């Protein structure tokens, strides 16, 4: 009995300490832009100077000026935390010194290029993981990222630019931000900055104009950035403004199959919807008897594992059910989890074909419609 009481006391103390620690977490501000050169780093450094003049202990944790004259000049007068030197493949390279930042405990630290991949051998693989560690230590962070680095927008960006961006930031990292600020320029203003040599050196300007910096691409990336910041505002309103009880709380369910090679699209688009509605979401995989682990091909198993990993990174809870009745299982999960929106792939996707070919498809539609549940068929 004494052991049980002690254990209970310890649990209560830990819970209280966790609450205290959570309240001590640093605040997180992110500048977001449609591309390189819009002025995110410049704006962060301007803000650092303003904070310093007000007596705030602000330090530069990591800033990349890309040798842009106007931006580089703004570093003058700002306290910079020395970078950590790492020897990698015979070269001396530099990374942000996370431990030095935590030891110095500035009130605010500026950390550029949130999507950066750290050099092999660093404590964390990604800089956004460094930032989370700094925030956990109670230090406020101002950072920056381009819209093409947001995980759930990967396919959209690839379609616009024909570039598969490798360095990506999970959406839930951006959702942790207390403030997201869009640094906006028109496509003409951005191209003018490029031609004036304010973004890249002269030898790279023409190549940039022929590739990434095309007016139609910039416009589309600008739209993505504006939409992202708008959705952040919606989330802030829903979190901070007293809720109207008449409004329903959205919960989304994405459904995929093992044969669905385009499941990543369904996952990313559902994540975007969940992000827009500031809602929780789930990924459902129904394992039919013919898809048991001893029968399914290895390549399909890899697809599933990768899709589960992606969905988890984008904030989903994975639900895996063994059943021969796909539609009935979907309806059961919808009821159990109080789902408001079911997301499936468009007709050429395997899962939809399975449902459509079954004689209970009408049952799915009737049940969802009678329960005021949306069915979204994603392209």
Q: What is the pTM of this model?
A: 0.65
Q: What pLDDT, on the 0 to 100 scale, is given for residue 86?
A: 87
Burial call 132-148: b when 16+ CB within 10 Å, e when fewer = bbbbebebbbbbbbbbb
> Shortest CA distance to 187 belongs to which of 147, 159, 223, 163?
223
CA 376 to chain centre: 22
Read off the pLDDT of residues 108-139 as tens digits, 9 standing for 90 and up: 999 999 999 999 888 899 999 999 999 999 99
pLDDT in tens, the chain (379 residues): 344 446 655 666 666 556 555 557 899 999 999 998 899 999 999 999 999 999 999 999 999 988 888 899 999 999 999 999 888 887 888 999 999 999 999 999 999 999 999 998 888 999 999 999 999 999 999 999 999 999 989 889 999 988 888 999 999 898 899 889 999 888 899 999 889 888 888 888 898 888 888 889 999 999 999 888 888 776 776 666 665 544 557 899 999 887 666 788 899 999 988 888 878 899 999 888 887 777 777 878 888 889 999 999 999 999 999 988 888 898 899 989 989 888 887 654 455 555 555 554 566 666 776 667 788 777 6
Q: How far apart are CA 264 and CA 171, in angstroms?
A: 15
Query: Is residue 274 a contact partner of residue 249, using CB atoms and an 8 Å limit?
Result: no
Q: What pLDDT, on the 0 to 100 scale, is given for residue 231?
A: 80
Q: What stretches of the chain show up as alpha helix (H) in DSSP?
A: 2-23, 40-53, 69-73, 98-104, 127-136, 154-161, 171-175, 187-195, 202-210, 215-240, 263-277, 298-313, 326-336, 350-357, 361-370
**CB-based burial label for 312 (10 Å; 0-12, 13-18, 19+):** middle
Q: Which tokens hold the place of 46?
A: 């301007």
> Which residue has 């004036």 as its token pair?
196
Read off the pLDDT of residues 147-161 as tens digits, 9 standing for 90 and up: 999 998 988 999 998
> Shortest CA distance to 200 belongs to which of 341, 347, 67, 366?
67
Q: What pLDDT, on the 0 to 100 scale, is given for residue 33?
A: 92
Q: For residue 321, which phi and psi values (nearest 5 degrees)? A: -125, 135
Query: Is residue 28 a contact partner of residue 140, using CB atoms and an 8 Å limit?
Result: yes
H/E stretch holding 92: strand 91-95
> Shortest CA distance to 45 belongs to which of 24, 18, 68?
68
Q: What pLDDT, on the 0 to 100 scale, is given for residue 87?
A: 84
Q: 3-state DSSP call for residue 260?
A: coil
- Give the Cβ contact number of residue 310 at 10 Å: 20
- Give the Cβ contact number of residue 324 at 10 Å: 11
Q: What pLDDT, on the 0 to 100 scale, is given for residue 92?
A: 86
Q: Which tokens hold the place of 341?
A: 């929106």
DSSP letter string, 237-249:
HHHHSPPPTTSPP
Q: What pLDDT, on the 0 to 100 scale, is given for residue 249?
A: 74
- Give the Cβ contact number of residue 72 at 10 Å: 15
Q: How far apart are CA 313 and CA 370, in angstroms?
A: 33
Q: How far apart are CA 179 and CA 235, in angstroms?
A: 11
What radius of gyration, in Å, describes the C-alpha atoms of the chain? 24
Read off the pLDDT of residues 175-186 as tens digits, 9 standing for 90 and up: 899 889 999 888
């Amino acid at each position: 009995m004494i052991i049980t009481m002690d254990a209970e006391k310890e649990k209560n103390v830990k819970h209280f300490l966790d609450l205290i620690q959570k309240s001590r977490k640093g605040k997180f501000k992110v500048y977001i832009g449609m591309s390189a050169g819009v002025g995110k780093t410049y704006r962060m450094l301007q803000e650092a100077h303003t904070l310093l003049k007000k007596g705030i202990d602000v330090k530069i944790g990591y800033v990349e000026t890309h040798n842009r004259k106007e931006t580089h000049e703004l570093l003058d007068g700002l306290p910079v935390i020395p970078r950590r030197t790492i020897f990698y493949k015979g070269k001396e390279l530099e990374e942000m010194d996370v431990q030095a930042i935590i030891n110095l405990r500035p009130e605010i630290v500026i950390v550029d290029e949130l999507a950066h991949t750290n050099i092999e051998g660093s404590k964390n693989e990604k800089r956004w993981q460094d930032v989370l560690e700094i925030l956990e230590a109670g230090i406020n962070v101002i950072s920056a990222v381009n819209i093409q680095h947001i995980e759930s927008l990967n396919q959209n960006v690839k379609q616009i630019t024909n570039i598969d961006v490798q360095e990506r930031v999970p959406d839930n990292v951006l959702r942790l931000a207390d403030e997201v600020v869009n640094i906006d320029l028109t496509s003409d203003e951005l191209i003018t900055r490029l031609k004036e040599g304010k973004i890249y050196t002269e030898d790279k300007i023409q190549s940039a104009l022929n590739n990434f910096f095309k007016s139609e691409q910039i416009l589309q990336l600008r739209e993505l950035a504006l939409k992202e910041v708008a959705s952040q505002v919606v989330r802030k309103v829903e979190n901070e403004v007293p809720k109207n009880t008449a409004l329903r709380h959205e919960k989304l369910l994405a459904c995929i199959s093992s044969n669905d090679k385009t499941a990543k699209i369904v996952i990313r688009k559902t994540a975007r919807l969940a992000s827009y509605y500031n809602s929780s979401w789930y990924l459902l995989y129904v394992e039919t008897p013919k898809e048991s682990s001893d029968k399914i091909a290895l390549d399909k198993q890899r697809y599933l594992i990768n899709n589960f990993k992606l969905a988890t990174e984008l904030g989903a809870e994975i639900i895996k059910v063994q059943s021969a009745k796909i539609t009935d299982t979907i309806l059961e999960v919808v009821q159990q989890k109080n789902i408001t929106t079911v997301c499936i792939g468009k007709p050429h996707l395997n899962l939809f074909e399975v449902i459509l070919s079954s004689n209970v498809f009408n049952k799915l539609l009737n049940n969802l419609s009678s329960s005021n549940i949306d069915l979204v068929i994603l392209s």
